[in-house]
Structure 1
Amino acid sequence: MIIRESRNGFKLCKKNKELFQIYREDLNIYEGIKENIIWTKKIKDAIAENRIVPFFQPIVNNSLKTIEKCEALIRMIDENGKVISPYFFLDIAKKAGLYKELTIIMLEKTFEVLNKTNYEISINLLLQDIMNSEIRALIIKKLKKVRNPEKIVFEIVESEGIENFNEVTEFIKEVKKYGSKIAIDDFGTGYSNFNYLMKLNVDYIKIDGSIIKNVHKDKSAEIVTKTIVLFAKELGIETIAEFVSEEEIYNKIKDLNVDYSQGYYFSEPKENIG
């Protein structure tokens, strides 16, 4: 029996939460390395050739049944014009140190669109974006120049937990000076914390899709959704249901008084708004 030590083997141990990993041919370590190299090159080429773009998914007002908002979602266009989901490249971009470049591109292009539409547009920010001084400076620069800064919503991804609470609250105060809004994304799973939510001065709670997709058939999901909605309404926060994929789910969340809906029941993300 041979135990081989390598950086990739160590990573695999960490991934599997083991102290050591016995080398086996079927671990496919080298296939994983090869795949990462291929995708890293694809990402670099897409950045260089301006093939990183925002797609937009509408958000529907449940009372009026009209589209009032949309979310900007990152996509890569490959050499043949195929649209690539971030599922295939975002994690690799983070590992390859390319994530910041993708965030800058998304901010630049989303703010360009903001000047051409009356829709409110939301864009995702990770905590590492908020903590990055270059990203924060770019956001403030854009807010100062854009015609309607009140139409931008920054979605903070809640599932990571908000450890750097003071920095996040300062960021929120800063962007709200321009009339911009804040949403907490993926709420209801992971590190959900009603206590910090009361202190963050947010405008929207986006109820996580893992809850919404079962809300019409799972009593626990219904109770969690109802609790979030009641809590939000007490604080004057509006709610948005993610992953609304069928009419039965849509009817259920309307019954639960969720304010807005987003999902494939209305539209997949598209290159153009409207």
Structure 2
Amino acid sequence: PIAKQTKLYPQITLEVVYQACRVFASRDEEFSINLSDSDIRNPHTVNEIIKTIRETGTASQIVFEILESEGIENYDEVTRFIAQVKAMGAKIAIDDFGTGYSNFENILKLSVDYIKIDGSLVRELSGNERHRIIIETIIDFAQKIGAKTIAEFVADEDIYTILKELGVDYSQGYFTGKPIPLP
């Protein structure tokens, strides 16, 4: 919020993109960068992102995670951005799906590769049948549109096992591995 209030948010986004691309230009791993709707609606930010991924040759390694929880104001602009970066080889994920303004119809407008199931649903999965139903629905939907699913906040074996049974493609959280510094 402070970065947005002080108008530094676009510069921070560009610095994150630049630093991440610079680090991964000499590596083989895929990496993710979160972008907000306001990042994508800013023509200067989009132009600089495109320039950076071209210069570093990292487009095929990047997954841009669009923050669904903040809401998307202009689907035409987001769709244009997605088409542009996917043409370069990047992938797209919708982050925090299942909270906020989650809308299956709106996801159909976007050509996403991954749907990240929000941790607030995953965290309560083993003790909440309603969360299980929502997650099953998201997985079924994702499979039908050809997107992979990623479950956030997988904290223990019980949650991991249930998610595996439900057919989640990927998991992230302390059970599968704590964040570690890059070498």
* Code of the aligned partner of 1:125: L
* SS of equivalent residue, structure 1 residue 240: strand
State the alpha-carbon separation in 1 of the partners of residues 49 and 7 from structure 2. Answer: 20
- How far is 1:269 from its partner? 2.6
How many pairs align? Answer: 183
Do the aligned partners of 2:21 and 2:58 also contact (CA within 8 Å) in 1?
A: no
- How far is 1:198 from its partner? 1.1
Q: Does 1:169 align with 2:73?
A: no
Structure 2, unaligned runs of 5 or more: none
- How far is 1:245 from its partner? 1.0
* SS of equivalent residue, structure 1 residue 177: helix
**Structure 1 segments of 4+ aligned residues over 6 angstroms from their partners:** none
Q: How does 1:20-169 map to 2 (within 5 A)?
A: 91-169=1-79
> Deviation string for 1:220-266 (max 9, x for gaps)?
00000000000100111000000111111111111110000011223
* Code of the aligned partner of 1:129: D
Higher helix share: 2
Structure 2 length-normalised TM: 0.95
Counterpart in the other structure of 2:161: 251
> Deviation string for 1:81-127 (max 9, x for gaps)?
xxxxxxxxxx2222222222211110111001221221110100011
Structure 1 length-normalised TM: 0.64
* Code of the aligned partner of 1:115: A
* SS of equivalent residue, structure 1 residue 129: helix
Counterpart in the other structure of 1:191: 101
State the alpha-carbon separation in 1 of the partners of residues 60 and 8 from structure 2. Answer: 29
- After superposition, the CA RMSD in angstroms is 1.2
Higher strand share: 1
Structure 1, unaligned runs of 5 or more: 1-90
- How far is 1:218 from its partner? 0.5
Which structure is higher in RCO with an 8 Å CA cutoff and minimum separation 6? 1
* Code of the aligned partner of 1:231: F
